[in-house]
Amino acid sequence: MKDCADCVIRSRAVKTLNTDEFNIHRNNCAELELKPGESIFKEGQLSSHIAYLKSGLAKIHKKGAKNNDQILKIVKPSRYIGLQSIISNKVHLYSASVIVPSRVCYVDINTFKELITRNANFANELLVYLCEDEMSYFDRFVNVHQKQINGRLADSILFFANEVYTSNEFSIPLSRTDLAALICSTRESVIRSLKELTEVGAIKVKGKKFNLLNKTLLESISQKG
């Protein structure tokens, strides 16, 4: 556990707080280090805290009608997780787990509600975050349902290359089963698609290690779907 006053990775919302409000926040916040696979919170669990991902990566996932785990999105650092439960729910409607070593701050949900009431700028930053999050989900929903598997897989590979690692060589911290859950496909289809992307010279894959050999081609596959 570390003191918020020493933190240099504060959210845009927290930066709007005055001294008194910041002290309220720091007195109701705790930081934890989580290992890959550990849960931030679970679906159906009482929503007593809001989580803030300071470092690492997390996946948001939810059980479907057949009890299959569907990955809704991958969360990068400096993002809140669980904000939706502030207004409408007493329990979390999805699960969140880290996929690499991560640091997560937990803030008491009642503290969040108090700060929203006290500070309009704090509330506005959270509203902006929720709007950005929703628009991102809309884009992903359309892509998942309108693109073929090669296009969907190319999207995910480019996401890790451009937005997570900013490199053409990286390791994706997901199993083939998790990749399938992320792009709404099957493990077998993902393996077949990876082979096809390799054969056309777009990527090179060894286990979880990816090398983008022809990024322009991969982007074309992504755009054409």
The per-residue pLDDT for 61 is 94
The boundaries of the domain holding residue 70 are 4-144
CATH of the domain at 8: 2.60.120.10
CATH of the domain at 188: 1.10.10.10
Length of the chain: 225
The per-residue pLDDT for 2 is 58
- 111 and 32, same structural domain? yes
Name 5's Cβ contacts closer than 8 Å, sequence gap at least 6: 26
- 121 and 215, same structural domain? no
- 136 and 46, same structural domain? yes
- 164 and 99, same structural domain? no
Provide the mean pLDDT of the chain.
91
Mind listing the pLDDT tens digit for each residue in 166-208? 999 999 999 999 999 999 999 999 999 999 999 999 999 999 9
In DSSP notation, 103-170 reads: EEEEEEHHHHHHHHHH-HHHHHHHHHHHHHHHHHHHHHHHHHHHS-HHHHHHHHHHHIIIIIS-SSEE
- 151 and 140, same structural domain? no
- 194: amino acid identity, one letter: L
- 112 and 152, same structural domain? no
The pTM for the full model equals 0.88
The structural domain count of the chain equals 2
